[in-house]
Structure 1
Amino acid sequence: MSLWVAFTLLAAFMQSWRNAFQKRLSGSVDAYGVTLARFLWAGPMAVAWLATMYAIVPAPLPVLTLPLAGYVLGGAVAQIVATVLMITLFRMKGFATGVGLARSEALIAAILGVIVFGEHLSLMAWAGVVIGAIAVWIMKGIKQQNMPTGRTLLIGLGSGIFFALTTLSVRQATHLMPALPFLHAAGWVLAASIVFQTLILALWLGATRPATLTTLITRPGLSLPISLASFLGSLGWFNAVSLQQVALVKTLGQVEILITLLIARYWLKDPFTRRDITGLVLVSLAAVLVLWA
């Protein structure tokens, strides 16, 4: 098995559990507190991982340049913006359609990768990416009678674009450290991104929602599982995209849908639907095409 495939499967598995933990935490704190829980305890974990990598395989420190800093900070901010837009969607009319657009990250990343970063995908890879996007749309798209507004569609598309920019920025940042092994390069980007995101969100919540921040800090049992799952998921994503194109990683990563459905069925007791089964078949086909590509 290729390393990027292994890291992608790790990311998909842990992201599914992170989402399940977030769903449970949302009953105790607001949506912004749930967002911070992704990063609150993940920073120390990322720093410890990076230190472990250096202890096992000594390597030089990265040379900080303006482009490197720009990609790291830009990707971190893009992820915050994408998450805030996603949270906004859940309060809007016809939100499911917007979520379908937001989750079409692989297709958006493929388009942006070609246009902005000059990447190239084979015809089979494009087929897998497009089929994966259709699968997500079937499962996450229109599921309700309320028609989405133009604002809902724009916010959904904006969320998908910023999620794609996050991962593309991570890939570019890791490639700006060619003297480092890929595990070290991805580890630096991961640690810097999470620490930066934690500081921004903690300061903002401290100023606007101090009770939420206090709850997360004084009751680590609520947020620690989310932080752990988020750290391991990001570890998988960051290493995978340092080795392979973002569109292929994110398309294969849609196996998260299968894992999420299994968790929902057997842990959260939610039933399968015909729409779910159709989407799973298409996700499986997309994964096969991407692996062949």
Structure 2
Amino acid sequence: MELWITATIAAAFFQTLRFMLQKVLATGTLSATGSTLARFAYAQPFAWVVLAGYLALRGGGFPAIDPVFWLWGLAGGVGQILATVMVVMMFRTRNFAVGITLKKTEVIQTALLGLVLLGEVISVGGWLAIGIGLAGVLLLSKTPGDARASWRDLGSRVILLGLASGFFFAVSGVGYRAATLAVDSADPFLRALVALSFVNLMQCTVLLPWLRWREPGQIAAVWGARKVAVWMGLASMAGSLGWFTAFTQQTAAYVFALGQVELIFSLAASVLFFRERVTVRELGGIALLTASILVLVLVV
């Protein structure tokens, strides 16, 4: 199995675990932005410890970094911050599995952004897989309890949050793909670790003054939530390392498309941990998204 496939599946698993913990924090004492800071802040120590340990075991010096890394890394980091805040907000309007699924509009948006910004072309088979996945997203966009609501209702708050979070995740994916390519090393794991550590640091640098200005009490609340947040940080670091490793090997659109395997994990979490009911319509949408993953693996 290719490295990017293994890394993506691992990333999807750890991301689901992280979203589960983040949902618990977001529905408790932390705001959407506060829980987002907790995710990055508690991942920081783990990322730097793993990087230092890997450099010590591997030997050799620190890899050179092209100056363009900082621009791509900042763009990806800010995009991820905005996308994560919107996903946390979705947790309060949809159930867990469907909230995760709506953000998967990131796949087709990533393909388009990757083409425009990086010139990365998607094959016909790749577009087929993405199209099947998009059909599943649209099927899942009906708001429970309202027979009149559908994906056409663009005034719906959850639809707008889903589309916007997908766009900003697309920005983060393309930015991270370009940032990892700007690290001068033939070792994909080292490139991923360097990019992850510095991008995560930039995200904390952006979020701390914002919370200090807009939600000053949240910084103390983030520290107060450390017993849960530290595990979220560990899961976040592991998931992000998987994504960054995959980005060093494959285009962001294909990585995100395969990453839809996360839906299987999130459905299990929704039913087993949060005791949320999943409808037949939602299961149909998830089945379509699963089919898109199978097509992608066959054609790439």
TM-score, structure 1 normalization: 0.89
Partner of 2:5: 5
Partner of 2:127: 126
In the aligned structure 1, how far is the partner of 2:254 from the partner of 2:66? Answer: 28
**Partner amino acid for 2:275?**
K
Partner of 2:63: 62
Q: Is the 8 A contact 2:136 2:285 kept in 1?
A: yes
In the aligned structure 1, how far is the partner of 2:194 from the partner of 2:38? Answer: 21
Following superposition, the deviation at residue 44 of structure 1 comes to: 0.8
Q: Is the 8 A contact 1:98 1:148 kept in 2?
A: no
Q: Is the 8 A contact 1:190 1:234 kept in 2?
A: yes
Partner of 2:28: 27
Matched, 1:228 2:234: yes
**Partner amino acid for 1:291?**
V
Judging changes above 3 Å, is the alpha-carbon distance between structure 1 residues 91 and 163 closer, same or farther for their aligned structure 2 residues? same
In the aligned structure 2, how far is the partner of 1:111 from the partner of 1:66? Answer: 25
Partner of 1:258: 264
Partner of 2:116: 115
- Residue of 215, 220, 228 corresponding to 2:221: 215
RMSD: 2.6
Q: Is the 8 A contact 1:72 1:169 kept in 2?
A: yes
In the aligned structure 2, how far is the partner of 1:40 from the partner of 1:98? Answer: 24
Matched, 1:177 2:183: yes
Partner of 2:204: 198
Matched, 1:267 2:268: no
Q: Deviations over 1:32-62 (max 9, x none)?
A: 2111121121011111111122122224323
In the aligned structure 2, how far is the partner of 1:211 from the partner of 1:233? Answer: 28
Following superposition, the deviation at residue 177 of structure 1 comes to: 2.2
Judging changes above 3 Å, is the alpha-carbon distance between structure 1 residues 111 and 81 closer, same or farther for their aligned structure 2 residues? same
**Any unmatched runs of 5+ in structure 2?**
none
In the aligned structure 2, how far is the partner of 1:34 from the partner of 1:20? Answer: 12
Partner of 1:136: 137
Identity of aligned residues (%): 32
**Partner amino acid for 1:131?**
I
In the aligned structure 1, how far is the partner of 2:12 from the partner of 2:214? Answer: 33
Partner of 1:164: 170
**Helix, strand or coil at the partner of 1:149:** coil
In the aligned structure 2, how far is the partner of 1:264 from the partner of 1:88? Answer: 16
Following superposition, the deviation at residue 247 of structure 1 comes to: 1.2
Judging changes above 3 Å, is the alpha-carbon distance between structure 1 residues 231 and 67 closer, same or farther for their aligned structure 2 residues? same
Judging changes above 3 Å, is the alpha-carbon distance between structure 1 residues 65 and 248 closer, same or farther for their aligned structure 2 residues? closer
Q: Is the 8 A contact 1:216 1:222 kept in 2?
A: no
How many pairs does the alignment contain?
Answer: 290
Partner of 2:296: 290
**Helix, strand or coil at the partner of 1:104:** helix
In the aligned structure 1, how far is the partner of 2:103 from the partner of 2:186? Answer: 33
In the aligned structure 2, how far is the partner of 1:44 from the partner of 1:111? Answer: 34
Q: Deviations over 1:212-246 (max 9, x none)?
A: 21122144103112111111111111111111111
Q: Is the 8 A contact 1:38 1:223 kept in 2?
A: yes
Following superposition, the deviation at residue 152 of structure 1 comes to: 7.2
Following superposition, the deviation at residue 189 of structure 1 comes to: 0.7
**Helix, strand or coil at the partner of 2:41:** coil
In the aligned structure 2, how far is the partner of 1:177 from the partner of 1:206? Answer: 32
Following superposition, the deviation at residue 180 of structure 1 comes to: 4.1
Q: Deviations over 1:153-192 (max 9, x none)?
A: 6664343222111111111111122434111111111001
Following superposition, the deviation at residue 77 of structure 1 comes to: 1.4
Q: Is the 8 A contact 2:4 2:255 kept in 1?
A: yes
Following superposition, the deviation at residue 128 of structure 1 comes to: 0.8
